[in-house]
Amino acid sequence: MSELNKFIQLINSDIKELFHFKSSEIEVEIDNRINIITNSLKEKSIFKLNHDDLLNYERGIETMPSYYGTRWTSEVYFPFLQKYNPNTLLIIELITLFYSKSIYQMVCSDIEIVKQLEKKDGLFFDRITEKENEMFFDKSTMVFLITANKSSEPYNRVRPLIYYISIVKELFVNRPTTRELTIYDEEDTFYITSEMYRNITDKLLEDSDEVRYKEVVQSMIGIYTLYFNKITYFTEIQPLFLKIIYDCLLNFEDILMFNNQYLKEAITNE
């Protein structure tokens, strides 16, 4: 089996396990879950309070006592939201799923481009350069993830989805000034070109217009904000979302448990 096929299996199995999907049809599974959440939210009211919950989540992540570690989210904040504002938990999962789908599509696109570049049959140099400029992430990120997940030591392994979320978070939250990036250590140093940055930006902006997602964001933030457009979404709202998504993925099993319970109770009470 080629390294690329191994990488496809790696990211599919990672997302399937992380989100507790039944099949490896990742986009289908994500869309099905998004439909469940958005259909439930349509029957409920979404307010500025939900946005305030997200801001509190961000502050909690940044200021939580060190002895909690990542347990603050699952032991303190998620139970709090489940009791007082469970709709926010659905929104957090929705945001996480949407960004995860976007990143998954970017990675799948990169895989197809690398396959074409490895063949190179019939591709002239200018065409090769053009295909490379369509990539979202450096090919070395795939190499790093394949190598890291061959380790016999579990703590050396790296979850692909969380790794790519970390890259996007680094780009749009920390906003580095150099093209050379390192997420964990010197072994995963890679480059983000101007073309890659533009491609990621364009993809995220395009996906933010998806109707199911846009309606929720508009109801929660847009109607309460005088100057709300793609620019303010991208520069002010998205960094908040990316911080939350990263932490949510580390605690996804807990939010899934709370949300499934909430959705089940809603069906029972109908």
User: pLDDT of 225-240, one tens digit each?
Assistant: 767 788 889 998 999 9
Average model confidence (pLDDT) for the chain? 88
Q: Can you give the pLDDT at residue 121?
A: 59
- For the chain, the distance separating the N- and C-terminal CA atoms, rounded to the nearest angstrom, is 50
Closest CA to 149 of 57, 12, 30, 253: 12
Q: Can you give the pLDDT at residue 1?
A: 45
Highest averaged pLDDT of the listed ranges 49-58, 143-152, 173-182: 49-58
Integer Cα distance of 243 and 169 in angstroms: 7
Integer Cα distance of 54 and 89 in angstroms: 9
Its pTM stands at: 0.91
Is residue 152 classed as helix, strand or coil in its secondary structure? coil
Phi-psi group of 120: left, alpha or beta (phi > 0 → left; psi -120 to 50 → alpha; rest → beta): left
Return the minimum-mean-pLDDT range out of 48-57, 118-127, 240-249: 118-127
